[in-house]
Amino acid sequence: MTRARYGRATLWGYAAAAVVFVGGTLATIGGYSATHNYEDTASRLRFEQRAAQASSVFEDRLDEQVHQIEAAVALFRASRSVEADEYSTFAHVLLARSDLRTLEWVPRVRLAERAAFESTLGAERTVTEWNGDKAPVRARDRDEYFPIYYVEPQDGNEIVLGFDLASEESRRDALTLARDTGQLAVAGPLRPLQDTSKATAYLLVLSFYRGVPVTVEQRRDALRGFIVGVLYPQDTLRHAMSYPASRDTSVEVTDGAYVVAEHGRYKEASVPDAAVPVHEVPLPFGPRNLLFRSWPSARSVRETWGLLPIFALLSGGVATASGTLYLAWLATAMQREREIRRALEDARQHYRTLVDRAPESILVLDPETMKFTDTNPAAESMLELSHEQFLRTGPADISPPLQPDGRPSGETAAALTHRAMAGEDVAFEWLFRDSKGKDVECEVRLGRISVNGKTLIRGSAIDVSERSRAEKRRRALVRELDHRVKNTLNTVLALAAQTAGTATTLDEFQRAFGGRVRALARAHEALAAQRWRGAGIDELATLVLGPYRTLDAERIRLAGPPTTLSAEAASALSMVLNELATNATKYGSLSIPHGHVDLSWSSRADGTMVLEWQELGGPMPAEQRPDGFGMRLIRGLVEHELGGTLSSERHSDGLGYRITWPPEHVVAPGNDGNENEDMPDESLARHGV
């Protein structure tokens, strides 16, 4: 009996020892893992803070360089003439507080102004151009140049004086972009002429205009020159990383495939480990996009490997060996259980908060009953059902009988639920129906979740009805644009072929064809301004005849009531007016200084439109002159495009033309020619010769 009892006690002791050993070992390993994870998490958080600070400072310094360029442009706006000493003083102060290496003033110099400009350069300098990696050479004759006139600092930068920035492609592209947009343009990465270090630099370009131009053509005409700053991103990064904590962070700034700036990589090796966090921030830089990548240095990673995990491992082993770990483990287990319960409750509350505040609709489905067990306010608002109403329904109850592809909603929902129960992440499009019978198009994603030991299906739905309508509108607009472009190209090809058949010289072809294409373009300009709903006769006449009225508006006088033509009629009439003006300039009243033209239009009682072109004060027209291509083009446009008639008369000081066309080409007031603005009618694009 005693031996039996002793044996049993021994077994219980072995069992207890085994329990203590196993429990102590598990607790020791858990403590080591927890402390190690804690230190790793803390290290990652510190690194993320440093990386975010570094990228923010770098971005702010880039913005500051743009402000310095804008300040230089403001100097030229504020002064009628900025002299060299004034510019030198201003640029010296500005460069002292920025990362810019140089600040340059680049005026616009036309070919006729070149000699006078070169005389101001001094020391027998001339306008030079790009010669590859070699020294710049004297620039060839071009319509205009953009040479560097002022540069600060001057020492060491003498080679760039007179250098035409437009002679090199990347610099020229930046000048063009800055000129046409009025915004900052960036050229690079490149190596400036005066730099022998082969370091990467950018040119920051901002335009200076005369006045305040609005359109691209106005900007091109009003351009006076550019302020150009040379920025080395390595300088900006060095300043941005000057705070003490930056020594623990390695950084590289890339522009596409090029690394344009680095920090920390030369002082100590980085840690090329996939487990090391990499912080990436895209940074807009004018029209370019830089990428700011940072990661912790090897030293900072090593510093996170402290003694705490080792201490936890040793203390756990000692406690297990001493035999007291069992009670500590029991107490810890009880405490851990309470913490887990508290964490579970917190997690439940947190989950509830996230679900209720989520912008997307969330529905929880019991796959056994195919009924909802939970929803969030977004779902209730989307389908206009209360929470209690939702709990009495399933997917088939809140959907139309059939989906858009013809599948039954109930069977399809069951099949998708079965896939989600198998562990598949299911995403699909679904058509719901709200309590008022309105269909709601959604994107739905299903996933399996476990709640209190029960497997449920969590679905998230996003209303994409508006996006779907927008996509349909986009496709319709693309079809409309394609149709209009094809018709316009066919028109231009027809004009080219017919003009070539009648022109006797290349110069004659260029003038005739160019005028006809410009007339077509001006009609398109007027139609585009009205979104192809039509164009007014007065607007067309002003655009097409504008070049002939530049010096004296009285030479072509316009009179007539406001009348809007359809897109087809507007295109045809613009070319008719161009041909009449061209003929009047060659042979008629506009060919002499005192001649003029009266253009008037009106409508008859039956709606027929009448347009009269009357040349006055011109030479006596020839009695008989065979019709050229221009008159044949006018007649064809009037008869075939407008469906009208053309008549002419000769009198002592010029010619007169009368054009009539039926009222169907006139857009009635209040009718924009397109009943559905979002879904354009392709018939609007049927225009041309």
Nearest-angstrom CA–CA distance, 509 and 600 = 30
pLDDT band at 520; cut points 50, 70, 90:
low
456-490 confidence digits (pLDDT tens): 999 989 888 888 777 777 775 566 555 455 555 54
Global pTM? 0.43
The token pair at 566 is 């359809």
Q: What is the pLDDT of residue 672?
A: 47
Stretch 56-84: mean pLDDT: 89
More confident of the two residues 61 and 267: 61
What pLDDT sits at residue 683? 33
Check: CB of residue 250 under 8 Å from CB of residue 296. Answer: yes
Q: Of the ranges 536-545, 575-584, 607-616, which is most confident?
A: 607-616
Match 């209730």 to its residue by tokens.
380
What pLDDT does residue 617 have?
85
What is the percentage of the chain residues whose pLDDT exceeds 70?
75
In this predicted structure, the answer to whether residue 351 has a pLDDT above a threshold of 80 is no
More confident residue, 267 or 64: 64
Distances (CA, A) of 453 to 196, 220, 240, 347, 394: 71, 72, 53, 16, 22
Q: What is the C-alpha separation between 591 and 615, in angstroms, rounded?
A: 11
Strands 556-559 and 596-603: parallel
- Residue 585: DSSP 8-state: H
Per-residue pLDDT tens over the stretch 662-681:
999 888 765 544 444 443 43
pLDDT at 674: 44
Tokens 């099949």 appear where? 415
Within 10 A of 429 (CB to CB), how many other CB atoms are there? 13
Q: What's the pLDDT score for residue 400?
A: 94
Structure tokens at 398: 């809140």
Cα dihedral 585→591→595→601 (10° resolution): -10
SS3 state at 360 = coil
Q: Kindly tell me if the per-residue pLDDT of 395 is higher than 60.
A: yes
**More confident: 503 or 613:** 613
Q: Measured between alpha carbons, how far is 110 from 120 in angstroms, rounded to an integer?
A: 15
Q: Kindly state the percentage of the chain with pLDDT values over 90.
A: 29
The answer, yes or no, to whether residue 228 has pLDDT greater than 80, is yes
Higher per-residue confidence, 168 vs 521 = 168
More confidently predicted of 208 and 630: 208
pLDDT in tens, 87-139: 999 999 999 888 898 999 999 999 999 999 988 887 778 999 988 877 889 99
Closest to 29 (Cα-Cα) out of 334, 309, 323: 309
Instruction: Give me the domains of the chain, ranges plus CATH numbers.
Output: 2-48+307-353 (no CATH), 100-231 (3.30.450.350), 359-463 (3.30.450.20), 469-685 (3.30.565.10)
More confident of the two residues 21 and 227: 227
Q: Rounded mean pLDDT of 293-307?
A: 67
- Joined tokens for residue 585: 């300039």
Tokens (6 digits) for 679: 């879904």
State how far the Cα of 324 lies from the Cα of 311, in Å rounded to an integer: 18
pLDDT tens for each residue of 428-452: 999 999 888 888 999 999 999 888 7
Residues 610-616, mean pLDDT to the nearest whole number: 93
Q: What rounded mean pLDDT belongs to the chain?
A: 80
Q: Would you state the pLDDT for residue 150?
A: 93
Pick from 69-73, 322-326, 491-495: least confident: 491-495
* pLDDT confidence of residue 513: 63
| Residue 302: CB atoms within 10 Å | 10
Would you say residue 528 has pLDDT above 70? no
Q: Which of 225-234, 265-274, 283-292, 501-510 has the highest mean pLDDT?
A: 225-234
pLDDT at 641: 86
pLDDT, position 30: 79
The H or E element containing residue 265 is none
Q: Using one digit for the tens of pLDDT, what is the confidence trace for 354-387?
A: 566 777 888 899 999 999 988 989 888 888 899 8
Residue 301 three-state SS: helix
User: How distant is the alpha carbon of residue 213 from its chain centre?
Assistant: 23
Specify the DSSP element, H or E, that contains 647: strand 645-651
Q: What Rg do the C-alpha atoms of the chain give, in angstroms?
A: 40
